[in-house]
Structures are given as structure tokens and as C-alpha cells.
Structure 1
Amino acid sequence: MSGYPFSAVVGHDDLRLSLLLNSVHPGIGGVLVRGEKGTAKSTIVRALAALLPEASVVAGCRFSCDPERPDPHCPDGPHTDFDDDTRPARLVELPVGATEDRLIGSLDLERALTEGVRAYQPGLLAAAHRGVLYVDEVNLLHDHLVDLLLDAAAMGRAHVEREGVSVSHAASFLLVGTMNPEEGELRPQLLDRFGLTVEVRASRDVPTRTEVIRRRLAFEADPAGFAERWSDADAELATRIVAARKALPEVSLPDSELRRIAAVCAAFDVDGMRADLVLARTAVAHAAWRGAERVEESDVEVAARLALPHRRRRDPFDEPGIEQDQLDQAMKDAAEEADREPDPDPGPDGPGGGAPEPGDGPTGPAQGPQNAEAPPTPSGGQAPATPDPAFRARQLEIAGVGEGAPGRRSRSRAGSGRALRASTSQGSGIHLVGTLTAAAPYQRDRGRTGAGLIVRAGDVRKAVREGRESNLVLFLVDASGSMAARKRMSAVTGAVVSLLRDAYQRRDKVGLVTFRGSSAELALPPTSSVEAAVARLRDLRTGGRTPLADGLLRARKTLAVERLRDPRRRALLVVVTDGRATVAVSRDAVGDAMRAAAMIAAEGTASVVVDCESGPVRLGLAGKLTAALGGTGLRLEELSADSVAGVVRAARAA
């Protein structure tokens, strides 16, 4: 079946341009495509492979060595006397659930068993060399695979040291990832490795949506005929890619445009120098794409629009993207820098005097929340308190060993990842080296005379893998009048934002239950989108009475539902309160709260109580709540990892 033609895609101009520019200049660093489901993200990426020129390779080389520059360390080398060959450009897909062996390669089991030799079987990184590595739902990729991708992307090589095999091979590829932000954000380290990023949304224009439907139905009715109708347009793009590649070395980048690039990056206060380099490469590629001999201001503006949105985020919970008026202002300010004569004796900040003063250009509005208008105050509650600055939160961990989804919080028995040891009873999958080692001493007794090992059932060893899992972290936040002193609520909100940031970094699901007035509410059902939790928290209204028991019961109900949906994911309940209760089901508000806490404890839920009580007179009710929950108690000031060292483990084990 023919694939959907690249030229037939309706709209998504920035996405198509980003992919084409990376095809012209692979050094840009790839594309991250963010967008809602059903917006043809995967369709466009898969269609790109048909436009890429064929690759010239060393015949028979499994690692796609370039005949003009063969890798001297290629495992299939040395390549001294060889034939050339050509093959179509490859688009290699990395599944989210792939194993480490599948990505970087492993021991060749067939040769190990039949010939008794250690041989390397290449993985997806080798297959993607000089091609495209595509990761759909890249934000859901397991952390151990992300680490391997980061190493390969940084060095352009893959290093394999495992199972008695030591191999290094070239792994230079165009990395393209797609993701739905509703399912969670990407790790900052991997996010920064993508050269360009594009937000994709379905058009709200009726004629555009009509044309999308018309073309898709025509493709499904006759894929080959539809592809044929668009073949000339695709061929024209393919020819233009080849021409732009050839012209790329001849495109000049004037000093004035270099200063413009540096000024724009400084204005948006991006970290490091990678953004400047990506902007420069993208601007040169754009100039080559339009057939120009030198980079101009319009090339820099296009590059900034595509390369800066994911780099201007100062915090994981800042909204991604750049408003057009911010970019216009940055380009206007940068024009002065571009027109300035270079300093013959540049200071430590380089030509042009460095970044603008704080507040100049787009730096102010790019910071986001502090410039927004305060939301109106609804009846029945005080306006949200401005959170105190976030800090690095100490690690909260569930005791015991679980079997949940891969993450970075608690210990787990992992079904994938690095094998710690071989076992005859525990573990999952075959431990190859352990199995072969167990069988090797008995080959003579078993009558082996030729190549290949004789393996019996008793020789089989399983791989015991232990990693880290993500958890469900359910926040139960007291928003009542007893907590609503402005200064204290700001500190509480800042602390919870810090814990949410920690949950984001550890790949947890999070939920938010608040209680105030006469009842509790599930402000945010458990989700992988931690940003949504931060947004709800920043809109939190305070004041009124304290229905602590109702909050605990709502949290218990939420945990029970999630336990049915995902029984393997362990939960951690984080209660943020001063322990006071003023709303009772019976006549004893505190007693109701303790009984609700005991019910949660009886179900084995791990918990941490953050005591927010302050002032000279303290009732110690949060401590009693901690005992009833059977969890761990912390004071608000003890949440910072900088002030208190160590890991807080909840009392309950799996």
C-alpha cells in the first residue's frame, strides 16, 4: 500500500518546513512535533522518507558506512576493498515499549548457540544511521531508553558494553518525535536535543477541514492512484532538497546576522549556546532552501520561530511557545544589534555588549505569569495567593518494591532495562550470558562434538531486573480558613508546586483534591499532565471552614478508582494541612478525620503529611493525623532538599 504523499498534506506549514530544513541540514538536530491527537503528525513524518535522496553505502555493511568516509571503527570493517551500493533513505521507528536490546543491539543469540561465538546483533540505532529515527509518543519513552538516545545524539556514536560484547559504531540520525502534551511533558534533557519544535493544531476553518476529509477519503479509496496524482509535487520537493544540500556550503552568514541571532537568543534568556547554533544552522538552511546566497533577516526570523519556543521555558510548568508580538519585538531590538559595528576589542560578553537589560524587549512578557492580570475573585473565597518561589524538593519514596510503570521515584521489579543478575526462579526473560555460562561446563558430558552449544532446560536462567517506577501522587490540599492566611498560603502553594515539579521529573501521575467550606472536590483527576495540576493549584481559592474528613474520604474514593484502573501503579498520598478540622459528620470533627485516615491506612496506602501549622501555639493535630494514616510526617520547611538531606520513605510497603 502506498504511503500518504507529503505534498498532499493540507496546512501544517511550519511542520513541513521544519522537516524539510532538517532534510537539507541534518545538523539542525531534528524536530519535536507537539499536538493534539488526530492532527496527522505521524502521517507527515512517515511521508518525509519518500522525499529524501538515496544513500550511498558500503555494500554489505550493516552500519551503512559512507563509501567516501568509511568509519575506521566500524564493527564490520575495516573497509579497504569494497563495492558501493545505494539504498532508499530509511525511516526507523522506535516503539515506546522497545527494550534496551532492541535499541542498541545485543548478543547474536543464533550464532552464540550454533557457533559458540560472541557476535553483535545491531539495533535500531545502527539501522537509523544516516537516516531518520522516528519516535511516536516520545514523551512516554522509558527513561533508560531516553538516556541511551541522549548519549547517541550527543556523541554521534553508540557504545555497547554488555554480555561480553564491546562495540562502538556511528549513529548519526535525524531525530523526529511526536507527542500529545495532554499525556505528559518531555524530560528537559531530551527536549533540548531537538533542534526545532512545532505546535500542531487542527484547523477550525471549515473549507480547510473539508479539504482534509476529501483528500483522506480519496486516498483510502485508491492509495496508488492518489499517490500517483501527487508524485510530481513530491518529486519537485525531492529535487529541491538535493539542490539545497549542494548549495548549503556556499551560503554565507554575515556578521550582522550572527549578531542578530545572538541578540534574539539573549533577549529570550535561553540557557547555554545550543539555541544560537541551531538558529544559525536553521537560518543557513532556510536561505539555501529559498535559493539565496546569503542569510537575511527573514531567515533568522523563521529560524527563531521554530527553534526558540521550547527553549524559552524557565520552568517545566511555563507554557511553551512564543507569541508573535514577542518575536516581533525581539527582532526589532535585535535589528539595532545587527546594524551596530562590531567592537574591535570585545569584552567578556562578546561583540555588542551582551544581552539587553532586564525588562527590555520580549524578556519581560516572555516570563509569563507575573505579568498576567489577576483573575477576578469569585464569591465564597479569597483570590489565589501568589506562590512563593519553588525549590528543589526532597525525594518522597514508597517503601518496598513495586511493579509499576517505569519512572524515577520508587524501587521496582522491572520487566525491561538492565539485568542485575541471573536467577533460576525470579526475573523475566532469558539471561543469555547466564544461560550459556550454566551450559558451557557440561558440553563434553553431553556429547558435543561440533559447533553450537547443547542447552538443557535446567540451564535456562532468567534476568532479574530492578529499576525505578513512577507512582500516582495524589495531593490533598487544605484550602480552608485555617490555612488561608495570605503569607502562609503562599508558602504552602510554593511548596506544592515544588513537589509537583519533582513529580514531573520522576514521571509520576498526579491528582489534586482540595477541601474548604463544607466539602471537598477533585480539582484534577489523576493525569500525566503535571502542568494541568499546577494551573489548578494557582487558581486555588481559599477560605471557609475545614472539612478534613470529607477531604480524606474523597481522596480514598479517588485512590480506589485508580486502583481498579491501574492496579500495578502504587499510590502516594501527600496531605498538606495543619490538621485542624471544623466540619463534622458526627459531632466530633477531629474524630471523623482520624477514622477516615484509619480507613486509608487499612488499605495500605503510603502517605506523607506536610504539617503547615505555625505560630506560638500549636495543637499538634497534623502529628495525630500522621499516626492515624501510618505514614511519614514532615514540617513545611523540611520539604527542601537543600535544607534537609535524605529520602523520606512512606511507612507502608507494597
Structure 2
Amino acid sequence: MPDRPAARHHYPFTAVVGLDTLKLALILNAVSPRTGGVLIRGEKGTAKSTIVRALAALLPPVAVVPGCRFSCDPAAPDPGCPDGPHGDDPGASVRPARLAELPVGATEDRLTGSLDLERALTEGVKAFEPGLLAAAHRGVLYVDEVNLLHDHLVDLLLDAAALGTCYVERDAVSVRHAARFMLVGTMNPEEGELRPQLLDRFGLTVEVAASRDPGERAEVVRRRLAFEDDPEGFAARWAAEENDLAARIAAARDRLRAVELPDAALRRISAVCAAFDVDGMRADLITAHAAMAHAAWRGGTQVTADDIRQAARLALPHRRRRDPFDAPGLDESELDTLLQDPDLDPEPDPDGPAGRGPDGGPDGGRDPGAADPEDGLSGGSDDGTEPHPDSGPDAGPDLDPSPGPGGNGRTPEPAPGDPAPAGGQAGRHGETTGDQDLGQRAAQAGEPYRVRALTVPGLGAGAPGRRSRARTPSGRVSGFRLPEGRIAAPHLTATLRAAAPHQRARGRTGPGLVLRRDDLREAVREGREGNLVLFVVDASGSMAARRRMGAVKGAVLSLLLDAYQRRDKIGLVTFRGTRAELALPPTSSVEAGAARLRALPTGGRTPLAAGLRRAADVLRAERLRDPARRPLLVVVTDGRATAGSPADLRGAAALLRDVAAVVVDCESGPVRLGLAGGLARLLGGEAVRLEELAAGSLRDLVRERRKAA
């Protein structure tokens, strides 16, 4: 990758208004790459990309071996460098630290590098083309919208970041090279979350949001306009601040080697991580590295409680996430309490005075009048996050006496969202005849559970995921085809078979095959794709009258959790009263879907046909935006339609006949009308009873295994 031209001016790092916590996280990683990178979460238009691109200019320049494509350090060349060996005195050239950007549409070979298999097959040589991990070595690797990357790419780059080495193992050729870089990712949570295990691989995380202060917002616009009018002049005005900050970062890097982590500080770090109930030991290690980097940054030589506090604020919030619907957060008042806890001091010396604590106070306590040598906790800082409320509210009531999801065999008290006995003349099956109850409170959702596999029939070609069968870039080889453009994965056996019959005509006289371009065959791989799961939820009075809405919401939450795990996009259409509405446009953020569902009120008539027509409109528009992603329609209803005629319902269902559909039958009680089954037949789909949605029986497990085989 060529160095950035000197004439191109990025927006200066020091000119960014506010975002002090984000600046600190980036600086700590610049001081100590062992901090593990930064994940920047925030809404669109909050200068995430701007500040990351400005960071590379602050990093100290690097000395490299001339001509080495892997940026080897002349003082200590990598003995395994593919461009080596470099000899005892390879020479040196100095260049700026690089910023390598990984686009969302990148492929695996672009990230890790690839063998030029076309040359290997036609010329008989091994040729390796380095990827972005090699370009980012000793610099910054920036991944915008990291939550939209394919999972296997995220796994590869995070493994390389953790190991400091990139391994390429394919087609009987093994290549490894150093890949130590500062990893920075940005994401908008509205577009979907990273999996928790991938979220944990980022060292630090920062939540950013646009300022609500009019004066600060005006200053942001003022500076941006000045930069756009005269980039060179604007950069020159901030050059002194940029140079001072770069010099301070370089000094902190040199000072880091002398920073001491006392045993007392290490005990505090371990106690804080244990108290916040984070998984594994990565949190302890990252917090220790970040605290040492903070000590070096402030000019200290020993880690203090304030260093630990600043490190914990950045290293722990995203590691406390337990449920996919939870938002990362950290209670800073609880953190302050833990850091001030005298029980976190070192254990008393067994040879010291009996009954005296480490601070000389009785019974191990601190003397109230004595100063804490590690005191120095700062007050509340900007960008702090509050703990997310419990994402698992109490299950809603259900009169279904059968055990299973949403039912416990007991007759519970009425749910908060259920219609009162008085308040409008009740219609058939307990449904109100008008819309007078549309303003009632929402019923609480039941606890989510694992659901049976719902898939789209056939073989798709959508974005990689985990739901339906599809042709994908990764997966098992199911066949071969003639290549179109550059070959990503050649099918060696098919290539050899195509070339073998022509060897005599091509004048072959020795060992080896004579290959031509038209002999090459490309492997066809079969894996899994993510789908668009569109939920159409009945929120009418008939659902609430049977005390079922709590169980229904729990079922839909379970399906949302399943969609999160299978990397689907989701949408939510609700219908009640006289209309249907798009409660959530198609998105990758299942958190948004869960929030809309929990706040969903019930009541009124049942415009089932309107709900189906609205779903057809949504799918038609989404097919234009993302034609490769196949939809799965999930209709959650008891099948009653009290608004509109049967002809309207048949006409609406006909609009969805080409869409894979599942109807979740919410009808309960000893007498069932079977209306949901009739709706499933109109849609050409499958009907599943609510109590059969859970994947708990042996029959369902066997059926899922057979489908996956």
C-alpha cells in the first residue's frame, strides 16, 4: 500500500470538538498497542471516521527495511518474513505510520493476502500477494461499520490482532508474517450488534453521541466549514497543537517501559473485574495494560487508583453484556465505591502488628483521618454510561393450562395490558367492538427461550448467515463451475480433469500438466445465509382478552433472539384497530425490534388483511434494496379477522404466495377454531402452535439435524 500523499490534509485530531473520552481511548492505544484496540459505538454523524483518520498523523514514523512489503523493522527483522532473509545490515528507510482501511465488502484474501493460484497453476510458481493485515503492520487498521462485516472476516482480523501474526494456510502453501497493528472499529448500534464473543476481543469501547449544547454544535460546524474552505490553511493553524500531541505520545511510549504496576493496584483491578462479573481473564489483562498506558500518558511511573478508574471505564462496559438485547454500560458510582473499598488493599503482613490493617487502622480498616496514597479519583466524566435495565422482565400471564413457553399450568392475575372487564361492550371471543381500548398499557413479555429452526426452502445466494441453505464464499464444496473474472477458490480436481485429455495435443513431454486458462474451474460452496425475517404481529383485543399477549411477546422475543444468532435482518409490522403499521423498518438491530415489541400496546379489532397488505408492501420495497436476501414471513396471530371481508383476506394472502411463510397459532383453550391453519394454507406456508415453537423435544432436535444434513 503506498503512503498517503503529503498534499492530502486530514482533519486535525486536536481540532475535533469534545469527544474527550474517545480521544483518551485512542491515545492510550497509541501509547500501548497491547491495550487491544478501540471499538467506537455511536449514532451516525458523530465524527467517528474523522477522528480515526486523524489519528495516524500523530503516530511516530516507523523505520522499515527498504523494499520489504511487510514493513520489517531494520533493528529486528522478522526471521520468518516472506520477503526475507534481510541479512545482518538490511539498511533502513523511514516512512509515516500507515492507516489501512478495511471496507465492508472486502473478501478474506484481501484481508489476509492470497496466493496467486492462477500463476501457480499456469506458470508453476508460488506467488503471494500481501493483504491489508500486512499493510497495517506497525500502523493502524481501521474497520468502518465493523458490525456489518462477515463474521469470518471479523474472526480473522481479531485473531491476527491478538496474536500479532497473520497465518495463510491454503493449497499446500504456508505463509506467515508479522501483523502488529492498532485496531480501530466503528459501528452504529442501530444497524446491529457484534456477537458478544467478538465484542470481547476489542480492548476498549467508547460510546459517542452528538452534543446537545448549541454552542458546542455551532463550533463543530464552524470548524468544519473552515476546513472545507481551506484544508491546507486550517491544518496549518492546528499544526502546533498536533506536533505537541504527537511529541507527548512519543514520550509516553518511551516512559511506558518504566511504569510499575504495584501488587496493590493489580489486586484492585482483579477485584473490580470480579465485582462487575465479567467473563474470562481478558478484562483483567486489558485493564492492567490500559492503566499502565494511562499512567505513562499522565507522566507517572506507577499505576494509581485514578489510572485504574479511567481504564475500567473503557475496558469493562462491553464485557458486562449478558443478553443480546442488553446495551453495554457501567455504573461509575459503583466503580468509585469499589476503588475506595478498604478491603481491596493488600493482605496484612503476617509478621506485622496483630489486628492492624495495611494502612495501620484497626481490624484492617483505613484510618478515617489518614490520606489514601492511591486516592486521586476524578469526578464523573463525559460519555459515561448507565447500566442497562434488566432485559428480562417478568413473564406475562397466560391462561393456557398446558406447560411450555408462556404457560405454567396456573391461572395468573390479569396482565397490565389486558383490557378491563368494563370499558366498552365486549364482542365475540372477548374482543371489543371498537377502538376505545387502543390507549391501554403494553403487556409485559415472557422470558425468551430457544426456538425450533425456521428456514426458507431452496438454495439462496444472500449474505452469509446461519439460517437457510445458500451458495456462499465459505462452506463445504458442493460442485464447480466455469470462473467469472478472478478465481477466488479454484476447484483443483475439476481443473486437472479438464486439462488431462489435452496433454498430448499440447505437446506435453515431461512431468506436470500443461494448463490453459479455459481449463480452470471454480469451486461452488454451500453454506448458510441470513434472511429478512418480517414479523407480522396481531396486537388486537382478541389477543389480550385471552391473557395471551405476554406469552406472545415472549415468543416473538425468542424469535428475535434466534434472528440475532443467525445474523438476519428483521422487520416488525403490527395490526390492530382499523390499521396496520410498520413498527420497525427492516434492520439488523434486533435490539430495536425488542424495544418496539415490549412497548407494543394491544386492543381493538383485528385487521388481519391490512397487516398482510402492509407486509407485502414492505417486502416489495425491500426486494428492490436487497434483491439477494430472501424473506421469511412470520405471522403471529390467532387467525381471527374482524375487520375486512374474507375476500380482502384472500386477496392480501395472494400477494404473499411467493414468500416463505410461517403462521404462529396463538389460539389457546380446549376449543380451537383452527383459523390460523386456514391462514397458513392461504399463504402456502406452515402453521406452528405457540406451545410447539420451542425446540425442546427430541422430535424437533432430530428434525433440525436432518434439515441441516
- Normalising by structure 1, report the TM-score: 0.86
Matches of 1:597 and 1:287 in 2, distance apart?
Answer: 65
Q: Structure 1 residue 313: deviation in Å?
A: 2.1
Percent identity of equivalent pairs: 66
Q: CA RMSD in A?
A: 3.5
Q: Structure 1 residue 491: deviation in Å?
A: 1.9
Q: Show the counterpart of 2:626.
A: 566
Q: Show the counterpart of 2:406.
A: none
**Among 225, 232, 240, the residue aligned to 1:224:** 232
In the TM superposition, 1:65-144 aligns within 5 A as 65-85=72-92, 86-108=94-116, 112=120, 115-144=123-152
Q: Show the counterpart of 2:252.
A: 244
1:412 equivalent in alignment to 2:473: no
Q: Show the counterpart of 1:10.
A: 17
Deviations 1:208-243 (A, max 9, x none): 223223322332333233222222222211211121
Q: Show the counterpart of 2:30.
A: 23
**Among 309, 325, 331, the residue aligned to 2:336:** 331
Report if the CA contact (8 A) 2:477-2:525 is conserved: yes
Change beyond 3 A, Cα 1:571–1:115: closer
Q: Show the counterpart of 1:641.
A: 695
1:394 equivalent in alignment to 2:399: no
Q: Structure 1 residue 292: deviation in Å?
A: 1.0
Q: Structure 1 residue 59: deviation in Å?
A: 4.0
1:168 equivalent in alignment to 2:176: yes
**Among 599, 611, 636, the residue aligned to 2:665:** 611
Deviations 1:253-276 (A, max 9, x none): 233333332333333322222222
Q: Structure 1 residue 433: deviation in Å?
A: 6.5
Report if the CA contact (8 A) 2:326-2:388 is conserved: no
Q: Show the counterpart of 1:597.
A: 653
Report if the CA contact (8 A) 2:287-2:308 is conserved: yes
Change beyond 3 A, Cα 1:492–1:419: closer
Q: Show the counterpart of 2:684.
A: 630
Q: Structure 1 residue 341: deviation in Å?
A: 4.1
Matches of 1:630 and 1:290 in 2, distance apart?
Answer: 67
Q: Show the counterpart of 1:284.
A: 292
Q: Structure 1 residue 573: deviation in Å?
A: 0.4
Indicate the SS of the match to 2:573.
Answer: strand
Change beyond 3 A, Cα 1:496–1:454: same
Matches of 2:544 and 2:120 in 1, distance apart?
Answer: 68
Deviations 1:493-534 (A, max 9, x none): 112111112212222221111222333222222222221111
Q: Show the counterpart of 2:377.
A: none
Change beyond 3 A, Cα 1:84–1:457: closer
Report if the CA contact (8 A) 2:637-2:665 is conserved: yes
Q: Structure 1 residue 465: deviation in Å?
A: 3.8
Matches of 2:609 and 2:599 in 1, distance apart?
Answer: 23
**Range with bigger deviation, 189-198 or 515-524:** 515-524
Change beyond 3 A, Cα 1:487–1:344: farther
Matches of 2:507 and 2:14 in 1, distance apart?
Answer: 63
Q: Show the counterpart of 2:363.
A: none
Q: Structure 1 residue 17: deviation in Å?
A: 1.0
Q: Show the counterpart of 2:41.
A: 34
Matches of 1:500 and 1:78 in 2, distance apart?
Answer: 53
Matches of 1:236 and 1:447 in 2, distance apart?
Answer: 69
Report if the CA contact (8 A) 2:196-2:321 is conserved: no
In the TM superposition, 1:504-523 aligns within 5 A as 504-523=564-583
Matches of 1:114 and 1:564 in 2, distance apart?
Answer: 41
Indicate the SS of the match to 1:458.
Answer: helix
Matches of 1:210 and 1:265 in 2, distance apart?
Answer: 40
Matches of 1:273 and 1:637 in 2, distance apart?
Answer: 40
**Among 470, 474, 497, the residue aligned to 2:530:** 470
Matches of 1:626 and 1:448 in 2, distance apart?
Answer: 63
Q: Structure 1 residue 31: deviation in Å?
A: 0.6
Change beyond 3 A, Cα 1:175–1:363: closer
Deviations 1:538-594 (A, max 9, x none): 00112333332332222223222222333322110011122233x1423x5xx7545
Highest Rg: 1 or 2? 2
Q: Show the counterpart of 2:540.
A: 480
Matches of 1:518 and 1:332 in 2, distance apart?
Answer: 53
Deviations 1:461-517 (A, max 9, x none): 344243432211110112223322576322221121111122122222211112223
- Normalising by structure 2, report the TM-score: 0.80
Change beyond 3 A, Cα 1:166–1:28: same
Matches of 2:529 and 2:597 in 1, distance apart?
Answer: 25
Q: Structure 1 residue 457: deviation in Å?
A: 5.1
The one-letter amino acid of 2:242's match is: D
Deviations 1:52-77 (A, max 9, x none): 11223344433233345444433334
Report if the CA contact (8 A) 1:96-1:140 is conserved: yes
In the TM superposition, 1:118-517 aligns within 5 A as 118-322=126-330, 326-337=331-342, 339-342=344-347, 366-368=388-390, 380-414=438-472, 416-417=473-474, 420=477, 423-425=480-482, 429-430=486-487, 431-432=489-490, 434=492, 437=496, 438=498, 445-446=505-506, 456=516, 458-484=518-544, 488-517=548-577
Report if the CA contact (8 A) 1:31-1:194 is conserved: yes
Indicate the SS of the match to 1:512.
Answer: strand
Report if the CA contact (8 A) 1:428-1:463 is conserved: no
Indicate the SS of the match to 1:645.
Answer: helix
**Range with bigger deviation, 533-542 or 110-119:** 110-119
The one-letter amino acid of 1:632's match is: E
In the TM superposition, 1:550-561 aligns within 5 A as 550-561=610-621
Indicate the SS of the match to 1:398.
Answer: coil
Q: Show the counterpart of 1:538.
A: 598
The one-letter amino acid of 1:331's match is: D
Q: Show the counterpart of 2:68.
A: 61
Change beyond 3 A, Cα 1:23–1:212: same
Q: Show the counterpart of 1:527.
A: 587
Change beyond 3 A, Cα 1:212–1:521: closer
Matches of 2:225 and 2:387 in 1, distance apart?
Answer: 44
Change beyond 3 A, Cα 1:554–1:366: closer
Report if the CA contact (8 A) 1:15-1:198 is conserved: yes
**Among 644, 651, 667, the residue aligned to 1:585:** 644
Report if the CA contact (8 A) 1:512-1:525 is conserved: yes
Matches of 1:491 and 1:45 in 2, distance apart?
Answer: 45
Indicate the SS of the match to 1:600.
Answer: coil
Matches of 2:54 and 2:702 in 1, distance apart?
Answer: 50
**Range with bigger deviation, 391-400 or 204-213:** 204-213
Report if the CA contact (8 A) 1:99-1:417 is conserved: no
Matches of 1:449 and 1:238 in 2, distance apart?
Answer: 64
Matches of 1:444 and 1:248 in 2, distance apart?
Answer: 68
Report if the CA contact (8 A) 1:365-1:371 is conserved: no
